[in-house]
Chains A and B, each alone.
Chain A
């Protein structure tokens, strides 16, 4: 069974940083693309970032480009999202998702999310 467990969320001041983690199990982590999706309170889903299986190809939504960095460590079966220069509009539940294939990063299996609150 695919399991994805996000952590690292919390309350942070505007301009601050966090590193979100997603521990993966139940599948061969190194064989799948991965992504992050967020959902602001009471709002819809927003695709944030994705990384292909090899880790060399990364992609970002315009809203986070230059501030967020996605990475993965196959030795630890863990996906990361480094979030910098946080703004109020970054307040959201951040979901980790396994992709469909090595290169297809479209969300397939989902974690339960970690909440990031940006507030002074």
Chain B
């Protein structure tokens, strides 16, 4: 069974830069996994940030960017703001129509 891994938590100072990553328990993430990223604040539905590695969804500020770093997908926030404090989830395509979410990263801005 495919396990998608994310850092459980991360902290960034306001105005700082943070990179969240998304990996596989076995193997490397590439663009073939169509990594996408979602943001969720408590009590709210998720919001799509990024698809297919680095395509920002409509309305997403350009301080959010996506990439492949080494063997992991990455979401970088440049110039973090207080309202970026959220849970962030990645999703990967593992074949045969199946998608798998990572466990999520709780980002604190302080």
Contact = CB atoms under 8 A, between A and B. Distances in A.
Please classify how large the interface on chain B is, using the bins under 10, 10 to 19, 20 to 34, 35 or more: 20 to 34
Contacts of A108: 48, 51, 57
A47 B48 contact: no
Interface string B85-110: 00101010100111111111000000
A24 interface: no
A100 B55 CA distance: 12
Contacts, number: 60
A13 interface: no
B45 A110 contact: yes
A71 B78 CA distance: 41
Contact of B45 (A95, A100, A104): A95
B46 A45 contact: yes
The interface residues of chain B, by DSSP majority, are classed as strand
28 contacts: A37-B101, A44-B101, A44-B102, A45-B40, A45-B91, A45-B101, A47-B91, A47-B99, A50-B97, A52-B97, A58-B97, A59-B97, A59-B98, A62-B1, A95-B45, A100-B51, A105-B99, A106-B36, A106-B51, A106-B91, A106-B93, A107-B46, A107-B91, A108-B48, A108-B51, A110-B47, A111-B45, A112-B45
Interface of B: 1, 34, 36, 38, 40, 45-48, 51, 57, 87, 89, 91, 93, 96-104
